[in-house]
Amino acid sequence: MRYPRLPYRHLLLALLIAPACMNACAWSRMAYAEVRMVNGLPCFSISKKEEKRNGIPQIGALNLSDLSVKPAIKLWSFIMPVMVTIPVRASSCILYGVAPAGAETRPAPPLKSGRLYDVFLNGRPDDPSDPTRGYIGKFCLAAKAGGGHELVVVTSDMREWIDETCPVSSPSK
């Protein structure tokens, strides 16, 4: 017995499979972390715009990596205990090397000039319908003439973001 040919069998198959992957195909969003210097160390937060848009996120972990080497090396991180998160406001920040109370962490090594660093704040806003799943930022440190470091933020519209390099000359603040 021969089965009749279905001229649109691929379309029919796609229509039958589509509802099954609706949840698996959900959209997610990565927002930008804000990086600033506080007492000579990088400090990580969200922007005022992000807070206004989505409220105060709850962070469960932070990871800082050195992207100047391949593969990238995790330098410092912390993770909160299960079901414990901390709020991160635009007006506050998490200082490099200083983990929140109760977090699992290890000592943070000193950061070096001329290296590209990537920070990831693992968390999300309270609104379950918000697709934000984390906050990412990239930055370099440039040596200052009198000692110490100057922060050079690398934004997603810069070529260095894609190339994973530090800008040749730091932008003036």
Domain that holds residue 35: 28-163
Strand bridging mode 41-46 / 149-154: unpaired
pLDDT band at 1 (very low <50, low <70, confident <90, very high): low
10 has a pLDDT exceeding 80: no
Query: Is there a domain that residue 98 lies in?
Result: yes
Sign of the CA dihedral running 91, 97, 100, 105: positive
- pLDDT at residue 48, as a whole number: 92
What does the pLDDT look like over 92-118, one tens digit per residue? 999 999 999 999 999 999 999 999 999
**Residue 116: its H or E element:** strand 116-124
Q: Convert 145-169 to b/e letters by CB count within 10 Å (16 or more is b).
A: eeeebbbbbbeeeeebeeeebbeee
Q: What average pLDDT does range 33-56 have in this prediction? A: 92
Q: What average pLDDT does range 53-66 have in this prediction? A: 92
pTM over 0.85: no
DSSP label of 172: P
**Residue 160: its H or E element:** helix 159-163
- pLDDT at residue 38, as a whole number: 95
One-letter amino acid for residue 62 of the chain: L
Query: Is there a domain that residue 32 lies in?
Result: yes
Domain count, the chain: 1
Query: Is there a domain that residue 14 lies in?
Result: no
Query: Is there a domain that residue 20 lies in?
Result: no
Helix/strand/coil for 22: coil
Q: Can you spell out the DSSP letters for 50-108? A: HHHHH---EEEEEEEEETTSSS-EEEEEEEPPTT--EE--TT--EETT-PPTT-EE-PP
Q: What average pLDDT does range 63-72 have in this prediction? A: 94
27 has a pLDDT exceeding 80: no
Of 131, 128, 116, give the one whose Cα is nearest residue 168: 116
Residues 6 and 33: their CA atoms lie apart, in Å, by 52
144 has a pLDDT exceeding 70: yes
Query: Is there a domain that residue 82 lies in?
Result: yes
Place of tokens 């069998």: 9
